[in-house]
Every structure is written in C-alpha cells, then in structure tokens.
C-alpha cells in the first residue's frame, strides 16, 4: 500500500516548506500498481486555502483516472482548517472511500481567514471572496456529514473542534481506530490547547501574495460559487485564471494548463508574486525595526518579525505604545535623579548595528 504523509502545513510559508500540490502529484504518480491501494495520512494544522483546493482536486482527478485504485484517508493526528478539506477529498469523489481516525485525533473546521489592508472597496472585495470560500468549503462538509448548510456555517463561525469518536459521530469520518481507552475531558482540554496553538502558529505564518494571478483566481471563484437564490452550487474542478491570450470573460485556463501551455507566462506571474511577497515582507520587517527603535524595544520587534505579526495588528501597536511609555517613564526618572556618572548615548552606528543584529536574529541568522 502506498502511504502519503501530509504531516506539515498546507503550502509553503516564509519560514518553512509545506505540503504542496506538486508534492501530492508526485506521490500519487508513484503509487503501487500491484497493490492498487493508497492511504493519505493526515496530521496537519492547515494553511493555504489555494494550495488546499489544488491538492483536493489532484486527489479527485487521480481517482477518476484510476478507478481501480482504493484511496483511503487516515487522520493520524490533526486535520484542521484546510487540512480538514483535504481529508474529505477521496470520499467526495467516491462515497465508498473510508475516512479513519485515531481515538485521540483532532478535526477542526472554521471560516477562511485572510490578512488585508486597503480602503473600504478592497476590504469589501476581500470579504466577498472569503464568503465564497466558506460556501465552497461548507459544500464539501455538507456532502460528507449530511448536516444542513445552516448548521455547518454555525460550526464554522464558532471555529469548532471535534475529537476522536466525535469526528465519526458528527459525520466527518467513518471509523475510529480504537485502542480500548477513552478520551476524557482532561485529555480533550490538552488536545484542544495544543491544536489551537498549532493552528494559530500556522495562521500567523500564512502569507497572502497580492499578485494579478490571485486576483483572477478570486474572480473565478466568486463567479462560480453561488449558494443562494437557487444559483449553481457547483465549484470549479480546479482554481482557474484567465487565459492571457484570450480577452473573453468566460475563457479560462487552469493553473496547470497555464504552466504547461504558457510556461514563460506562468514563470512571469510566479516571479511577480514572489517579488511582491518579498517586498511586502521586507517592508513589514523594516516597519517593526523602526517601531522597535522608537519604543526602545528591538527585542520585542524581533519577536514580532519572527512570529509573522502584522505591524497594523492592534495587539502589536498596543505593545509598542506600552513599551514606549514605560521607557519614557524610566528616562524621566533618570533625568530627575541623575547619577554621578552619565552614560553617553549610543551612537547612530551602534543603533544601526543593534537594529541589524535584531533583524539577522529574526531571520534565523547567528
């Protein structure tokens, strides 16, 4: 039996590599043709929704092309956020496909999350996209669990965690791999806290690149996913982008088709997104270092850089403000009660060296 381990975040982040669509494609291409059985083992806190949908469709397409192969899903540890959708892929394509869970496994569903800055039009556009993504995810949860659309959206709004047998009882899995022990409330509390921390870490590390390709993806998704007023509920078989050489609104090309037929254009779009992401990250780091210098807390700034915190986050701004007030109070006390020997202020070169040292440390340097 071919075993595919999905044991990292979904998609790459600035800090580490993750499970990508290309990884899943390579793994499925190398399945054991003699055994004709594939098991997808999941222990992931989730990550990029775009990478999730690509992986989801790669699994389904593999099953369409290889109907003789049995594909089974095994939630070994955690299937949270976008990983909870990947866990359903095989069963969405073939209802006879099984989803197995450990008696202490964790399954979490919630609404799509993003980070965006801009005017009210840009925020409204992003909100509309997130609603469309939520509707798409709810469609698959509903198909497997049999729950109503209203109930699922309520569970997603609340960011709901299920444990062990609860995953089966709520319809998201078929069978518990029992060990003879029961998961009590104390165990659930520990599992919940650990899972929550892992999901939050992944959420902070997830980067959304504002490139033209993603604008087309968003437009395609918003257009094709409608879940009210009797409109079509069918999601696209693959996330699509507008074909560059065709100006008609309805002519679309999948990312894989674009990569195959227009490799130069694909490389250009990818490079543009990567460059924009790098520019955005450099700007974020610079902003934190400047705020750290002003507030007299470069160590705090380095921590914010390391954990992916946005400079505009309310908690971040509050921390910088409190640090600046505290340092100002200390300075005032020193001025009111000067010592016998005054320590000369740091030179501009020393400040710059301190900033660069904090920056290098945040980026993993020595």
What ranges do the domains of the chain cover? 2-206, 278-362
SS3 state at 286 = helix
- Using alpha carbons, list the distances in angstroms from residue 364 to 56, 218, 259, 305, 360: 33, 34, 33, 11, 6
Between CA 100 and CA 90 the distance in angstroms is: 12
- What is the pLDDT, as a whole number, of residue 126? 87
pTM of the model: 0.54
**Both tokens assigned to 119:** 């005017």
Given a contact cutoff of 8 angstroms between Cβ atoms, the answer to whether 145 and 174 are in contact is no
Task: Tell me the per-residue pLDDT of 86-109, one tens digit each, with 9 for 90 and over.
Answer: 999 999 999 999 999 999 899 999
How many Cβ atoms from other residues are within 10 Å of residue 363's Cβ? 14
Q: Is 202 in contact with 220 (CB distance < 8 Å)?
A: no
Predicted confidence (pLDDT) per residue in 162-221, tens digit: 999 999 999 999 999 876 555 555 455 555 555 555 555 555 555 443 333 344 444 444
pLDDT in tens, 251-284: 455 666 666 777 776 676 666 666 666 777 777 8
Question: Which residues share a beta bridge with 40?
Answer: 4, 73
Q: Residue 75: exposed, middle, or buried by beta-carbon count in 10 A (0-12, 13-18, 19+)?
A: buried
Q: Tell me how far CA of residue 154 lies from CA of 85, 114, 225, 263, 294, in angstroms.
A: 17, 19, 19, 42, 43
Burial of 51 (0-12, 13-18, 19+ CB in 10 A): buried
Question: What confidence tier does 33 reach under pLDDT thresholds 50, 70, 90?
Answer: confident
* Closest CA relative to residue 25, chosen from 50, 1, 60, 49: 60
The Cα 73–Cα 175 span in angstroms is 11
* pLDDT at res. 358: 60
What would the CATH number be for the domain defined by 2-206?
A: 3.90.226.10
Of 289, 304, 306, 303, give the one whose Cα is nearest residue 353: 289
- Tell whether the torsion through CA atoms of 109, 117, 200 and 185 is positive or negative: negative
Strands 106-109 and 70-80: parallel
For helices 120-145 and 212-224, give the axis angle rounded to 10 degrees: 50
- pLDDT of 243 higher than 50: no
């Amino acid at each position: 039996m071919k075993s595919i381990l999905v044991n990292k975040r979904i998609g790459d982040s600035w800090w580490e590599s993750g499970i990508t669509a290309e990884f899943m494609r390579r793994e499925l291409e190398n399945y054991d043709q003699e055994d004709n059985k594939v098991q997808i083992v999941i222990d992931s806190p989730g990550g990029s929704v775009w990478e999730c949908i690509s992986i989801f469709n790669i699994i389904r397409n593999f099953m369409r092309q290889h109907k003789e192969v049995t594909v089974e899903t095994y939630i070994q540890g955690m299937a949270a956020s976008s990983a909870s959708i990947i866990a359903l892929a095989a069963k969405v394509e073939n209802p006879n496909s099984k989803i197995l869970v450990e008696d202490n496994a964790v399954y979490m569903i919630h609404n799509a999350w993003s980070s965006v800055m801009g005017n009210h039009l840009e925020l409204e556009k992003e909100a509309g996209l997130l609603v469309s993504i939520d509707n798409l995810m709810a469609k698959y949860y509903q198909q497997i669990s049999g729950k109503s659309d209203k109930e699922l959206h309520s569970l997603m709004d609340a960011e709901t965690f299920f444990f062990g047998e609860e995953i089966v009882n709520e319809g998201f899995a078929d069978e518990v791999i029992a060990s003879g022990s029961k998961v009590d409330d104390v165990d659930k509390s520990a599992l919940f806290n650990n899972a929550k921390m892992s999901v939050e870490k992944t959420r902070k590390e997830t980067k959304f690149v504002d490139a033209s390709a993603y604008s087309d993806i968003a437009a395609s998704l918003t257009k094709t996913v409608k879940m009210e007023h009797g409109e079509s509920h069918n999601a696209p078989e693959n996330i699509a982008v507008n074909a560059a050489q065709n100006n008609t609104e309805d002519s679309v090309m999948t990312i894989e088709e674009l990569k195959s037929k227009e490799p130069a254009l694909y490389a250009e779009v990818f490079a543009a997104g990567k460059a924009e992401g790098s520019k955005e990250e450099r700007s974020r780091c610079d902003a934190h270092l400047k705020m750290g210098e002003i507030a007299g807390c470069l160590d705090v700034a380095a921590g914010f850089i390391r954990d992916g915190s946005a400079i505009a986050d309310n908690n971040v701004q509050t921390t910088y403000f409190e640090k600046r007030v505290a340092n100002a109070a200390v300075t005032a006390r020193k001025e009111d009660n000067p010592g016998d020997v005054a320590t000369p202020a740091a030179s501009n070169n020393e400040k710059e060296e301190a900033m660069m040292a904090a920056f290098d440390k945040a980026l993993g340097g020595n």
